[in-house]
């Protein structure tokens, strides 16, 4: 009787989760996956939280408990689907590290995921919450990793110590976004390699001029 009473008291057999239990990672992943599927089927404007919750098998309140708005959910869904592919390697060469990561970004832009990015950037021009979520949840984490890659290059003497990291990164990634959005030319691995060589080449330590012999 005591054991039975104890079991009833601790909530192990009543089918309810005890308060404070960590959120379900399985449900979270189901929501993110459902978001991506619906985005691919209908696009950004026709995506509704109710439909995401229904397809993921959770309540609408569960979605809102983890994401404050549709923009945050979409940005997280995209970021989670690309995080592993967009990591920065540490090969001992800043040129190789940057070009490999940038090549992966180009692959994503040229894949079906690219349509999601395009929709986010387009809708973000009039939706401040969406573009803010994209910056915070996708761009900034990648940016932080890129800073560390550049710092390694500086420590190895591949880049100047006084280089502006934000200007350097904008110069590297800006042309990729321009070709992606404008479509005036192709996004190719060769383009990435040429871009890295041009931009990083201008960030090399300045060589001291050799003294003229008398």
pLDDT in tens, 124-157: 889 898 999 999 999 999 999 999 999 999 999 9
Least confident of 23-32, 169-178, 190-199: 23-32
Is the Cβ–Cβ distance between 181 and 118 less than 8 Å? yes
Q: What is the distance between the alpha carbons of residues 206 and 208, in angstroms, rounded to a whole number?
A: 6
Q: What is the distance between the alpha carbons of residues 9 and 177, in angstroms, rounded to a whole number?
A: 58
Q: What is the distance between the alpha carbons of residues 64 and 31, in angstroms, rounded to a whole number?
A: 11
- Reported pTM: 0.80
Q: How many residues does the chain have?
A: 214
Q: Which CATH superfamily is domain 23-66 in?
A: Homeodomain-like (1.10.10.60)
Residue owning tokens 């690309």: 82
Nearest alpha carbon to residue 141 among 181, 94, 82, 188: 82
What distances in angstroms separate CA 130 from CA 33, 55, 126, 139, one per listed residue? 18, 22, 9, 13
∠ CA 98-103-109, nearest 5°, is 130
Checking if the pLDDT of 211 tops 80, the result is no
Assign domain 81-201 one CATH number from 3.40.462.10, 3.40.470.10, 1.10.3720.10, 1.10.357.10.
Answer: 1.10.357.10
Is the Cβ–Cβ distance between 72 and 149 less than 8 Å? no
Q: What is the distance between the alpha carbons of residues 1 and 24, in angstroms, rounded to a whole number?
A: 33
User: Which residues of the chain are in CATH 1.10.357.10 domains?
Assistant: 81-201
Residue owning tokens 């995080």: 83
Q: What is the distance between the alpha carbons of residues 72 and 186, in angstroms, rounded to a whole number?
A: 30
C-beta atoms surrounding 92 within 10 Å: 11
Checking if the pLDDT of 173 tops 60, the result is yes
């Amino acid at each position: 009787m005591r054991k039975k009473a104890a079991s009833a008291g601790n909530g192990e057999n009543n089918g309810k989760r005890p308060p404070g239990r960590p959120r379900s990672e399985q449900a979270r992943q189901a929501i993110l996956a459902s978001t991506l599927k619906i985005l691919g089927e209908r696009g950004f404007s026709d995506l509704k939280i109710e439909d995401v919750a229904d397809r993921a098998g959770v309540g609408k309140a569960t979605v809102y408990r983890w994401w404050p708005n549709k923009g945050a959910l979409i940005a997280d869904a995209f970021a989670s689907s690309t995080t592993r592919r967009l990591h920065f390697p540490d090969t001992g060469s800043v040129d190789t590290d940057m070009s490999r990561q940038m090549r992966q970004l180009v692959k994503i832009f040229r894949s079906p995921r690219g349509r999601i990015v395009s929709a986010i950037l387009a809708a973000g021009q009039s939706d401040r919450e969406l573009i803010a979520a994209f910056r915070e949840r996708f761009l900034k984490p990648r940016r932080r990793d890129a800073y560390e890659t550049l710092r390694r290059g500086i420590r190895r003497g591949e880049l100047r110590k006084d280089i502006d990291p934000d200007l350097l990164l904008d110069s590297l990634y800006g042309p990729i976004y321009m070709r992606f959005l404008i479509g005036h030319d192709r996004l190719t691995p060769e383009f990435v390699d040429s871009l890295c060589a041009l931009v990083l080449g201008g960030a090399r330590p300045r060589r001291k001029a050799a003294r003229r012999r008398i």
